[in-house]
Structure 1
Amino acid sequence: MADGRYWSRRFNPMFRLLRRRTMILFLFVLLLYIFYILSMPQKGETVRWYKEWHLINASKASHRIADYKTALLPLPKNNGTGSDLLLTLAAENLLTWKNLELTQNSGKIKITLKSGLDAGAHAKSVCQNLTGNLSYKGNFPLPQMHYSSQYSLLYCPVEKVGSTFWRRVFYILYGKSLQIYNHPLEVPIVDALTQKYEILPRLVRMPNQVRIFLNNSFKFMFVRNPFSRILSAYVDKVFSPNPVYWKNFGIPSIRNSRNNASKHSLTCGHDATFPEFLRYVVESESTLRNRDSHFKGMTSLCKPCSVHYNFVGKMETFERDAIFLFHKLGMKSFVQAMSDKFTSMSVYDSIVDSIKGPYHWKRNIDRCIPFEQSQRRTWRKLQLKGIISMSQSYPFREDEVSKETFIHVAWNAHQNSSTEELKAQKKTVAQEAFISVPLRDLELFTNVFKDDFTIFEYDDSPEEYFNRTQNVQPVSQYLSFKSV
């Protein structure tokens, strides 16, 4: 007992001091919180503050409009008549979104053909018919959107629709790199993918301020025919040597469809067929389980009926739409650097990216297939993507070649492939892929992605895929693993 009283007398003053300090700290934090609440703008003040904030950024944007004249591409002449050829590009006032005619060589540039602005207006019209309401509503994809306060710009990325390219654009817009890039394709892909995006203004996180923010931002997204998008996902992530996606997509696709799958297939997932992959995607989207952004619906990703996009670009007209946006944003250096070689630079970038990946994953690839076979698959991947002609056979005899040699030879093979041949080849590859899918699965696919087909104006029942004499025609030429 004596010892207890001794230690009690010893430590009681210390306990009282700690309690006093804790109370003082609590009161200090409470006062800071009260001060913060009192300094916050009220409802009307919040709107006024946000408008003032936007006008400051808008005034900066207005100065860029004057740069459009010097940022334009040289216009070709129309059959020697001297009149400017009407472009499918357009310029739009950054503040009012009204069409703006721009002078070029004493002529005018106007919108004459369907553009991304028309596609955006069409999506808005379809959504109005579907919902009967054009007010901003629902769950907004703001957390995943890329934002630039300098340009009052919002971009919603859709995987397999040029999203890496636009991430590179935003990487340059952020201006955090010490490296000076002339155009987006110079930005290393890993840098663009790991970039921390600009944080949206705090006020946007308040539900009543979302509509104001969206109305005062230029919003754009890019879309793609759902058929070509799902085929591209398969070619890039499953058919080509990619052990990461073999595990994520290949194994579950085989497990979901193949009755007598070998242990090797269930362990590696390296030989999942396109029909197996498509069936897995349909089931994932139907049940909303195990979904992945590479095949998730575009309307599901970007909510076009909740966010009314000013511009909806398309993969089928990617170069034209990208150059339009560069014009719109006054990115003169991008236009000058890419205007006459956009396609060739994009193709070379795709070749390099396709070839370098397997060398990085070599150890894991070797556990499933010989590396020489993976290189053959990479070559076939470039053929499936319409980059190298099927007449250009795999050229290497040795078991393994350096990636520099591989890139050099693949680029030469592309240059020796005719544009007409590659275009026809891509069409044949797609036809072979989709007629190998049972009609029932194909109908389920179009039903699952019905909104994507409707809102973005794509044919959901192309004759070349559905009008066939047999329910299934097995792959034999391009997508067969045995032919690689």
Structure 2
Amino acid sequence: MIVNGLMARNFFRVFLMLLVWCGILTTLNILLMFRGEQGVKEYLTWYHNHSKFTKHDSYLVLNYQHHTTETDITKRSWKDGYHFPKDLCDAESLNETKMDAVFKNSIMPLFSKQLAYCRVYKGGSTFWKRLLAYLQRNIKLSPFRIKPQDEQSKYRVSCAKHSLNGTYNILTETRSFMFTRNPYSRILSAYIDKLYSPNPYFWKTLGVIIMKTVGKNPSCGSAVTFRDLVEYIIQTPIEKLDDHFIPIHSICRPCQVNYHYIGKMENFLNDTVNIFAKFQINSSPYITQNFSDEYKYDAIYDTVQAFIAFRHESKKCMNPYTGLQRIWRKLQYRGIISENKSIPLNKKESQHILLSKLLTIISTTHQISKKDNLSVQRRKLFIQAYNTIPLTLMYKLQNVYHNDFKLFGYDPFPKSLFGNRSNIMTDVFLV
């Protein structure tokens, strides 16, 4: 009787396991219909080759379809900005003290205009800090007149010294706004700007932390790869991430704050004009007809000025010509110069080239590059960058930002990044 009982229980366990695996396989079959076969097959193969199938990782696989089908992706432009779906807000368990400080430091009130802006790094914050500075001083000029290195000319007031309740009250009593950005775009932009381009400050701080996190020699943070950054984001608790990589909903807290306007970087100019109209501020002195060109030339100036300013300090990690190659590549990724254009300088010339001459060279190259389809190039290079990241890491990366994808209407599993991938590309940032 005991033997028969044991056999029955063992049979029951086997039967339950078969049911579970049938469910998993069924779900994965559904995934194959919704996304590129190759991506899901690669992920499934990875799990078959690893003995530990954790609850957390299986959750990522089984929720692939759920996130994909429920995400509301829209390209429409609303006059009142993005319609934030508060009904999708979930409670989070984070280090509240640390995140309270991030939140308060990100809220920038302009009491003279009854405005409050939530600053998000790599979300148009440089432009808005300049614009708020001009609004504060009632200067009616294009914010691009303020150069990126002129930190003292930017608006720097925040709620950092206010209490948490005081900050919430300020947001209630002012006309508040914020901007979002697709997490994948924001991450890559921060990598290129702060870690790939010559930036000794970030190399010595964030770069070293990343190298230690991924188990590499942290002698110089300039060696951080894009994959290193992704692994750092995945392995680091949100409250310990550098501010450039903290999810936007955790920075601005739209689930707790009723922002009057939520704009998107993907619709930056229109949303900026709409904010002025909604808050009854004349936009004409600040938003000119040449906004797009001003934006690009500002990016060129910022890139070149930083290269020249950091050239001596950067020598401790790389030679100036390598730094020049990196900023050239950066401008190609930003769709400012064509990838068909080579640097018209040699190693010796890069050692002592003046700011004015390098600005002329790059500005001229930009003008010539306009005949190429730079938007297509930018998209292609974006995809290539993420195709260097294995799908196993891509799934975990999207899980870090799953609330940003869900709450701000971005696709967590774009086919261009997850589907039809056969082999991992070599590092496209190697110089």
TM-score by length of 1: 0.66
SS in 1 for 2:219: helix
Q: 1:453 to 1:314 in 2, by over 3 A?
A: same
Cα shift at 1:389: 0.7
Kindly indicate whether the alpha-carbon contact (under 8 Å) linking 1:253 and 1:272 is maintained by their aligned counterparts in 2: yes
Cα shift at 1:481: 1.9
Cα shift at 1:233: 0.7
Q: Describe how 1:151-300 pairs up with structure 2 within 5 A.
A: 151-175=113-137, 180=139, 182-192=141-151, 197-198=156-157, 205=163, 207=165, 213-257=170-214, 266-285=218-237, 288-289=239-240, 291-300=241-250
Kindly indicate whether the alpha-carbon contact (under 8 Å) linking 2:104 and 2:164 is maintained by their aligned counterparts in 1: no
Q: Deviations over 1:344-369 (max 9, x none)?
A: 00110110001111221222211121
Kindly indicate whether the alpha-carbon contact (under 8 Å) linking 1:147 and 1:154 is maintained by their aligned counterparts in 2: yes
Name which of structure 1's ranges 221-230 and 275-284 shifts more when overlaid on structure 2: 275-284
Structure 1 Cα separation of the partners of residues 391 and 366 of structure 2: 35
Kindly indicate whether the alpha-carbon contact (under 8 Å) linking 1:327 and 1:335 is maintained by their aligned counterparts in 2: no
Cα shift at 1:190: 3.9
Q: 1:341 to 1:233 in 2, by over 3 A?
A: same
User: Within the alignment, does 1:350 sit opposite 2:313 as a pair?
Assistant: no
Q: Describe how 1:126-137 pairs up with structure 2 within 5 A.
A: 126-127=88-89, 130=90
Kindly indicate whether the alpha-carbon contact (under 8 Å) linking 1:223 and 1:312 is maintained by their aligned counterparts in 2: yes
Q: 1:456 to 1:465 in 2, by over 3 A?
A: same
Q: Which residue of 2 aligns with 1:146?
A: 108
SS in 2 for 1:409: helix
Q: 1:285 to 1:386 in 2, by over 3 A?
A: farther
Cα shift at 1:241: 1.1
Structure 2 Cα separation of the partners of residues 416 and 174 of structure 1: 39
Q: Describe how 1:357-436 pairs up with structure 2 within 5 A.
A: 357-397=306-346, 398-400=348-350, 401-418=353-370, 421-436=373-388
SS in 2 for 1:349: helix
* RMSD of aligned residue pairs (Cα, Å): 2.8
Q: For residue 276 of structure 2, what is the amino acid of its counterpart? A: F
Cα shift at 1:437: 0.6
Kindly indicate whether the alpha-carbon contact (under 8 Å) linking 1:123 and 1:304 is maintained by their aligned counterparts in 2: no
Structure 2 Cα separation of the partners of residues 211 and 240 of structure 1: 37
Structure 2 Cα separation of the partners of residues 193 and 389 of structure 1: 34
Kindly indicate whether the alpha-carbon contact (under 8 Å) linking 1:169 and 1:184 is maintained by their aligned counterparts in 2: yes
For structure 1, which runs of at least 5 residues remain unmatched after alignment? 1-111, 132-137
Kindly indicate whether the alpha-carbon contact (under 8 Å) linking 2:195 and 2:203 is maintained by their aligned counterparts in 1: yes
Q: Which residue of 1 aligns with 2:64?
A: none
Structure 2 Cα separation of the partners of residues 254 and 354 of structure 1: 24
Structure 2 Cα separation of the partners of residues 231 and 198 of structure 1: 28
Cα shift at 1:196: 6.3
Q: Deviations over 1:205-241 (max 9, x none)?
A: 483x766543332111011100010000111111111
Q: Which residue of 2 aligns with 1:308?
A: 258
Q: Describe how 1:463-482 pairs up with structure 2 within 5 A.
A: 463-470=415-422, 472-475=424-427, 479-482=428-431
Kindly indicate whether the alpha-carbon contact (under 8 Å) linking 2:140 and 2:286 is maintained by their aligned counterparts in 1: no
Kindly indicate whether the alpha-carbon contact (under 8 Å) linking 1:147 and 1:197 is maintained by their aligned counterparts in 2: no
Name which of structure 1's ranges 225-234 and 368-377 shifts more when overlaid on structure 2: 368-377
Kindly indicate whether the alpha-carbon contact (under 8 Å) linking 1:354 and 1:378 is maintained by their aligned counterparts in 2: yes
User: Within the alignment, does 1:339 sit opposite 2:288 as a pair?
Assistant: yes
Kindly indicate whether the alpha-carbon contact (under 8 Å) linking 2:81 and 2:271 is maintained by their aligned counterparts in 1: no
TM-score by length of 2: 0.73
Kindly indicate whether the alpha-carbon contact (under 8 Å) linking 1:439 and 1:466 is maintained by their aligned counterparts in 2: yes
Q: 1:347 to 1:143 in 2, by over 3 A?
A: same
Q: Describe how 1:110-125 pairs up with structure 2 within 5 A.
A: 113-115=76-78, 117-119=80-82, 121-125=83-87
Cα shift at 1:250: 2.7
Structure 2 Cα separation of the partners of residues 356 and 270 of structure 1: 19
Structure 2 Cα separation of the partners of residues 193 and 429 of structure 1: 35
SS in 1 for 2:222: coil
Out of 455, 460, 467, the residue aligned to residue 412 of structure 2 is: 460
Kindly indicate whether the alpha-carbon contact (under 8 Å) linking 1:161 and 1:224 is maintained by their aligned counterparts in 2: yes
Structure 2 Cα separation of the partners of residues 212 and 441 of structure 1: 40
Q: 1:369 to 1:206 in 2, by over 3 A?
A: closer
Cα shift at 1:125: 4.3
Structure 2 Cα separation of the partners of residues 306 and 373 of structure 1: 46
Q: 1:198 to 1:382 in 2, by over 3 A?
A: closer
Aligned residues: 346
Q: For residue 114 of structure 1, what is the amino acid of its counterpart? A: S
SS in 1 for 2:176: strand
Q: 1:408 to 1:248 in 2, by over 3 A?
A: same
Q: For residue 466 of structure 1, what is the amino acid of its counterpart? A: F
Structure 2 Cα separation of the partners of residues 210 and 227 of structure 1: 29
Identity among equivalent pairs (%): 28
Structure 2 Cα separation of the partners of residues 168 and 301 of structure 1: 20
Q: For residue 229 of structure 1, what is the amino acid of its counterpart? A: R
For structure 2, which runs of at least 5 residues remain unmatched after alignment? 1-74, 92-98
Name which of structure 1's ranges 226-235 and 356-365 shifts more when overlaid on structure 2: 356-365
Structure 2 Cα separation of the partners of residues 434 and 455 of structure 1: 23
